[in-house]
Chains A and B, each alone.
Chain A
Amino acid sequence: TQLLEQSPQFLSIQEGENLTVYCNSSSVFSSLQWYRQEPGEGPVLLVTVVTGGEVKKLKRLTFQFGDARKDSSLHITAAQPGDTGLYLCAGADGNNRLAFGKGNQVVVIP
């Protein structure tokens, strides 16, 4: 089992502040994905990172894949209430299984 540790588990910030959450593992992943999940719904894919050191931007969200492909971070600039949600990272193994971390619960206070 490839364990994915996400930190912090819970984060509450004021609107307009920046935040960074992390996804770490002792295993190497061929790719890593970030999802956002809102209450009562399934996770929705935000981004997939594949190359070590890769940085992808999605509007105010910046995703980085570690050089060794064992960890990733998600940075949100000028957070808005609409960014509130559970952020999940997931890694794929060689057997086509997708394993998830426990998530980062982000709350942005207006």
Chain B
Amino acid sequence: NAGVTQTPKFQVLKTGQSMTLQCAQDMNHNSMYWYRQDPGMGLRLIYYSASEGTTDKGEVPNGYNVSRLNKREFSLRLESAAPSQTSVYFCASIFGQAALSGNTIYFGEGSWLTVV
């Protein structure tokens, strides 16, 4: 029962380097999300994808790009990492609409990224 799987779990990058965070879900969910969590800031939405082939900006999209490769996978790319992007990143997915009762959103275990 994998649920939502994120890789890598830990990563240290130098300023200016690029990397991609991978996320996959095996629950046939339509919507997928990328959040970042910083101390005292809660979870802030970076990008989301309501369905395969579509992506939309969230609250803090600058410095990131995403790809909804297929229904299962939603990747987050940092083209030129900055220290301000040091954070914990969470991928999440939901079957239908987030606004509807009874639809549970599932989170991955998080990816700890440090940019030095």
B interface with A by C-beta (< 8 Å): 4, 31, 33, 35, 40-45, 48, 50, 56, 58-59, 90, 92, 94, 97-105, 107-110
Main secondary structure of the interface of A (DSSP, over half): loop
- Among A76-107, those with CB < 8 Å from B are 88, 90, 92-103
Q: Is the CB of A100 within 8 A of B98?
A: no
- Chain A nearest CB from B58 CB (Å) reads 6
**A11 interfacial contact with B, CB 8 Å:** no
Q: Which 4 A-B pairs have the closest CB atoms?
A: A42-B107, A102-B42, A92-B99, A92-B98
With contacts A30-B99, A96-B31 known, is A45 near B105, CB below 8 A? yes
Q: Is the CB of B110 within 8 A of A100?
A: no
Which residues in A have their C-beta under 8 angstroms from that of B58? 97
- Chain A contributes a number of interface residues (CB within 8 A of B) equal to 28
Q: Is the CB of A98 within 8 A of B45?
A: yes
Which residues in A have their C-beta under 8 angstroms from that of B35? 100
Bound CA–CA A48/B94 (angstroms): 14
**A50 interfacial contact with B, CB 8 Å:** yes
Which residues in B have their C-beta under 8 angstroms from that of A103? 42
Q: Is the CB of B50 within 8 A of A96?
A: yes
Q: Is the CB of A94 within 8 A of B99?
A: yes
Which residues in A have their C-beta under 8 angstroms from that of B107? 42-44
With contacts A88-B42, A95-B56 known, is A31 near B99, CB below 8 A? yes
What are 12 of the A-B contact pairs (CB < 8 Å)?
A40-B110, A42-B4, A42-B90, A42-B92, A48-B101, A90-B43, A94-B99, A96-B31, A96-B48, A96-B98, A100-B44, A103-B42
